Structure 1
Amino acid sequence: MIVSTRDSQTVAAAIAEETGDTLAETDYEQFPDGELLVEVPPIEGRAVVVGSTVSSEAHLELLLLQDAVREAGATAVVTVIPYMGYARQDEAFTEGQPVSARAVAQAISTGTDRVVAVNLHEAAVADFFDVPVDHVDAAGVLADPLPADLDSPVFLSPDEGAIGLAETVRDANGTGAVDYFEKERDYDSGAVTVTPSEIEVADRDVVVVDDIVATGSTMSEAIAILQDRDPNRVFVATVHPLFVGNARSKLANAGVAAVFGTDTIERAVSATSVAPVVAATL
């Protein structure tokens, strides 16, 4: 049986369709003091709990559902995390601060037998869990919504660390060049300096690929540099379309022709699903 948090109903339904499992209808109650109560139907055999932890409340909801499916009779629990919040806090920045990704991973581990995580910000985050983890790369599905008439496409990642994502999307698309921007971050000021690539983009379609778009600031800065080189069209493809605040507006003002994301986080730009990749792992 597939059991979903409130924020991940679309991707959970898609996973259920791929696997043929029943999709549970979960009931929620909010007490006057703000506490959440969840209720799931009776379960026989394995339960697959699906939840993107897009907020601290979503983290708590996932933990409650893990416990609820055990109480409902599940003999095994698999937790699917389409998007893992706190994954970018994978180290303590100063003394006295937590390794938040580790704390969250250990909490999730207490209520599950196995984890399936989609495109963790850093692969090493998987090591923080105390149960087996399947870390799946769903970037290839981002090729599905791209226009079929891409003209001599270039697939760019915002930094060298994400070039593997760009290569995956290029390979799924079937053709194109791959390159990346060099990015330096000043951790004292928070300022990011993006150095343009030397690849020729004039009169070519460019697809900028990243695992997550949060505020859109770094991405829009990179695209502004691209626009000085006269590309044909610029597209953005991201596995996790978090889009905090006015991120979408920043990209539009930078001259992006279209933005494509997956359903790990449900947004208007969620144009494709990670469900086939997740289902194959389940």
Structure 2
Amino acid sequence: MPTILEPKLITGTSNIPLATAITRRMSMHRGKPIGLVDARVERFNDQEIFVEVYENVRGEDMFIIQPTSNPANDNLMELLIMADALRRSSAARITAIIPYFGYARQDRRTKARTPITSKLVANMIVESGIERVLTMDLHAAQIQGFFDIPVDNLYASPIFALDILHHFKGEDMKDVMVISPDVGGVARARELAKRINAPLAIVDKRREKPGEIAEMTVIGNVSGKKCIIVDDICDTAGTLCKAAEVLMEHGATEVHSYITHGVLSGPAVERITNSVMKSLVITDSIEPTEPVAAAKNIRIVPTAPMFAQAILNIWNGTSVSSLFETETLEPAYEGLFHG
């Protein structure tokens, strides 16, 4: 078998800018150019997906970069078809880099006669020949158990902590308070609060049906605080904007939000632009649309440094969990936080 000299990266069409940024970061780390494997992903007239890999990948350690964001079904099928193409081309190992794992919100049966689609998607990924998954901020930690292959789940909180410590310096940090927008997200919020040494409060919401919020209660004293709402997904931004309003009503001086995956569908951007929120910070796990990129109070932090390091660690057989530590991650983000 030939010696594997470098990891090889290939991307679908769902987030090409992120894939390109990851290869640039890896090239810096390795001191030699690492590019994306030359391939084509195209649609037939009936929207069937076709993949052709132009380079020899026999015996190679392959990494497919493909978030399964909107359109979720197309991007998921691209991932599975690319994996099949690589497996049939005798790749030694196939790792799927899925920064945003679609269908993660269907992780349990919420009522009778409903599916657990996360498990179905996990089965499809395993059957396609993928041998390892690298993702970020899964909606529910138990999804890792749906796979019969190793799953590395990275966290955005170390990146967010670096960003917060950069933007709220000195005296400002004394008034910062981390907010969980619901009881289910307390563990995530507590993790960030611990990193920046800030207190924690909760906005308890009661839903009548999906997408609608009946009432909200603030658990904790937010008066005179700079509130930072932390969550994994922001879809239509209804909950987020309502939570920001409730916090301001309870005496918060300003509200910022740090959300890992900016799905931002439908009226989300308009809601955020017109909301009382001072800023919304998201990652580039999902490629930002033009309205998102243009919105004056939405800021995007890069995940490429973290994913590049994680890919190199998987390829080298070294620890991925070391990236949860600020000391390990800080050098990768040197000079990236400014303004």
Same fold (TM over 0.5): yes
Q: State the Cα distance separating 1:138 from its structure 2 match.
A: 2.2
Q: Secondary structure of 1:102's match?
A: helix
* Structure 1: segments with no counterpart, 5+ residues: none
> Whole-Å Cα distance in 1 between the matches of residues 61 and 223 of structure 2?
50
8 Å contact kept, 1:145–1:271: no
Alpha carbons of 1:177 and 1:95: their partners in 2 closer, same or farther (altered >3 Å)? closer
Q: State the Cα distance separating 1:189 from its structure 2 match.
A: 9.4
> Whole-Å Cα distance in 2 between the matches of residues 261 and 249 of structure 1?
16
Q: Could you say which residue in structure 2 is the equivalent of 1:19? A: 26
| Amino acid aligned to 1:12 | A
8 Å contact kept, 2:177–2:227: yes
> Whole-Å Cα distance in 1 between the matches of residues 74 and 284 of structure 2?
19
Q: State the Cα distance separating 1:190 from its structure 2 match.
A: 5.1
8 Å contact kept, 2:213–2:239: no
Q: State the Cα distance separating 1:196 from its structure 2 match.
A: 1.3
| Amino acid aligned to 1:123 | A
Q: Could you say which residue in structure 1 is the equivalent of 2:124? A: 107
Picking from 151, 161, 164, the partner of 1:133 is 151
Q: Secondary structure of 1:196's match?
A: strand
Q: Deviations over 1:74-133 (max 9, x none)?
A: 210011111111111112334433211111111011120111121110001111112121
Number of aligned residue pairs: give it.
280
Q: Could you say which residue in structure 2 is the equivalent of 1:162? A: 185
Matched, 1:39 2:52: yes
Written as runs of structure 1 = structure 2, the 5 A alignment for 1:1-282 is 1-20=8-27, 21-40=34-53, 41-43=55-57, 44-54=59-69, 55-110=72-127, 111-146=129-164, 147-149=167-169, 150-151=172-173, 152-172=175-195, 174-187=196-209, 191-202=213-224, 204-267=225-288, 268=293, 269=298, 271-278=300-307, 279-280=309-310, 282=314
8 Å contact kept, 2:227–2:254: yes
Q: Deviations over 1:7-48 (max 9, x none)?
A: 122222233334344322431222122212122232251001
Q: Could you say which residue in structure 1 is the equivalent of 2:322? A: none
Q: How many percent of aligned residue pairs carry the same amino acid?
A: 27
Task: Using structure 1 for the length normalisation, give the TM-score.
Answer: 0.90
CA RMSD for the aligned pairs?
Answer: 2.3
Q: Secondary structure of 2:15's match?
A: helix
> Whole-Å Cα distance in 1 between the matches of residues 210 and 154 of structure 2?
33
8 Å contact kept, 2:230–2:257: yes
Q: State the Cα distance separating 1:142 from its structure 2 match.
A: 2.0
> Whole-Å Cα distance in 2 between the matches of residues 58 and 189 of structure 1?
24
> Whole-Å Cα distance in 2 between the matches of residues 256 and 93 of structure 1?
31
Alpha carbons of 1:163 and 1:189: their partners in 2 closer, same or farther (altered >3 Å)? closer
> Whole-Å Cα distance in 1 between the matches of residues 41 and 12 of structure 2?
10
> Whole-Å Cα distance in 2 between the matches of residues 216 and 188 of structure 1?
13
Q: State the Cα distance separating 1:260 from its structure 2 match.
A: 0.8
Q: Deviations over 1:217-272 (max 9, x none)?
A: 11111111112134332111100011011112222322111111011112124621
Q: State the Cα distance separating 1:66 from its structure 2 match.
A: 0.9
| Amino acid aligned to 1:155 | V
| Structure 1, 268-277 or 149-158: larger mean CA deviation | 268-277
> Whole-Å Cα distance in 2 between the matches of residues 191 and 42 of structure 1?
53
| Structure 1, 81-90 or 36-45: larger mean CA deviation | 36-45
> Whole-Å Cα distance in 2 between the matches of residues 65 and 4 of structure 1?
9
* Structure 2: segments with no counterpart, 5+ residues: 1-7, 28-33, 315-339
Alpha carbons of 1:93 and 1:60: their partners in 2 closer, same or farther (altered >3 Å)? same
Alpha carbons of 1:28 and 1:200: their partners in 2 closer, same or farther (altered >3 Å)? closer
Q: State the Cα distance separating 1:208 from its structure 2 match.
A: 0.9
> Whole-Å Cα distance in 2 between the matches of residues 33 and 188 of structure 1?
33
